[in-house]
Structure formats: structure tokens, C-alpha cells
Amino acid sequence: MTFVTTRDGTDIFYKDWGSGPPVVFIHGWPLNADAWEDQMKLVADNGFRGIAHDRRGHGRSDQPWTGYDFDTFADDLHDLIEALDLRDVTLVAHSMGGGELARYIGRHGTARVGKAVMVGAIPPVMLKSDSNPEGTPQKVFDTLKDGILNERSQFWMDTAEMFYGANRPGNKVTDGLKQSFWLMAMQESIEAAVACVDAFSATDFTEDLRKFDIPTLLIHGDDDQVVPIDAASKKAAEIIPDATLKIYEGGAHGLANVPGTKDCFNKDLLSFLRS
């Protein structure tokens, strides 16, 4: 397996497929690089170099006790990009990964980045407040942490239902897809799982988004039950200077993996990469 060792000695696992202009995929919580395999093959088959890493505490990467904050995640991504000497890279991020992408640009700029794609992403800020009334109440995040700490295996099985919209009438979500979610989630450490909830719920990425100076594609399902679109991509599209927002009607949070919306996403991704 391939790893990059970060500045603090953490080993980060990554996949590197194909050759051509680089595309780095950043996974959501509580998943890992395997969540992007369909798209990794897609880009590698079409003349691009697909790269996806497991965030620290997830999958095959190290599981340190600390470092589950977006400054650290962004610096890990920076270390990966520097180690592989990637240039003019397209960053593609899902959910919590969108925060990692935003903070990377906020901290490290776009000297090595040509484009960005954010899918069901959390920026600018998830937590409900007086200044963010469309956000998610704190009690929801407390419930997430309680579920992980009380019985995380069953919690992940239950979470897969709304993650992919399997609780909606007429959905096309397979048992295999839900089981793959459970498998990836169980590879995340329990400490990372809980600490990431605090990180992605409360971190404000507004100033990071203002620093975007590259073409950015935002994709979000209007039936996202995990990251509601009104507090996320609709607001981000107003902050990022050169952003295009595509709304998938009936799209779930994990729309890049669900039959139907996956095909639409793959088409939109390739079109954006070639533009």
C-alpha cells in the first residue's frame, strides 16, 4: 500500500490510478478513499490521474489520538499534494471533505489548484445560530455523538439509510451500497468519529471560501438529509467568486454513489474536468 508521512509523522494512505492531469478526491465522514472508486476509475479511464486518500483516523491511515480539526486535515492534504508534486490539480470533495478543501485553499492558496468540485459539502457553516438560522441545531450533532458512543455498529447501519436516501419512497439504494457504508464507517476510529462531529458542525469556512479564485462547481441534492442545501451550497455559491451551483432534484447526500444520480454526477464531473 502507498502512504505519505505528514509533517507530524502521521501516515496517510492514498490510491493513485491512471495518468494525466491530476484529480484528487476527498471523502466525506465517516468514509474513506473507497467511496470514490467509481469516479477514480472514471477519470483514469478518460485520461486523468485519480488520487484519493484516507483522512487521518479513517480507513488505512494512522489513527492518532489528536489532530481531528480542519487546519490539520488541510495540512495533511497539503503534504500529500506536495509529496506527489501535483500541479494544476482539480480537487473533488464530498460533505466534510468540502470543509477540508475549503480550509486547504484558505491556508495554502491555489498555486497548485486549477479547479474545485464540492458535492453535498458542509461550507460555509453547518451549526444553527442567530446568524445562520438555516443551520442544523446543536442537539442533532449531540445525538450523532451519542449514537457513536452507545453502539456505533448499529448507528452506522441506521445512518446509511438517510445518507443515501434509502428511507424515501421509490429509492434505488441497494443493500450492498448500505453495507459498504457500514464497512467503511467501522474502519474509522471511534475517537475520530466523535471528534469529527465537533469539527464539521462548528467550523466556519466563510473566509476560506472568499479566497477561492478558481472555477468551482457545487453539486447538491435538494433532498439531502445530512447537509441541508439551504445552509450549505446555496450560501457557498453566493460567497465563492466563480462558482456554479447544480441542484439534483431528489438527490440524497451520497448522490455520487446512488444509481441514477451517480450517472448524472459522473457526466457532470467529466464535463467540468474537460472544460
Which positions are catalytic? 95, 224, 253
Inter-residue contact 262 to 38 (CB < 8 Å):
yes
Using CA atoms, how far residue 20 sits from 89, 98, 115, 237, in Å, is: 10, 24, 15, 29
The neighbouring-strand residues paired with 50 are: 17, 23
Could you give the CA distance from residue 50 to residue 55 in angstroms, rounded to a whole number?
Answer: 16
Please state whether beta strands 11-17 and 2-5 pair in parallel, antiparallel, or not at all (unpaired): antiparallel
Inter-residue contact 212 to 240 (CB < 8 Å):
yes
Please state whether beta strands 243-248 and 11-17 pair in parallel, antiparallel, or not at all (unpaired): unpaired
- Compute the residue count for the chain: 275
Burial of 169 (0-12, 13-18, 19+ CB in 10 A): exposed
Could you give the CA distance from residue 6 to residue 40 in angstroms, rounded to a whole number?
Answer: 23
Q: How many C-beta neighbours within 10 Å does residue 222 have?
A: 15
The three grid cell numbers given for residue 222, joined into one nine-digit string: 435538494
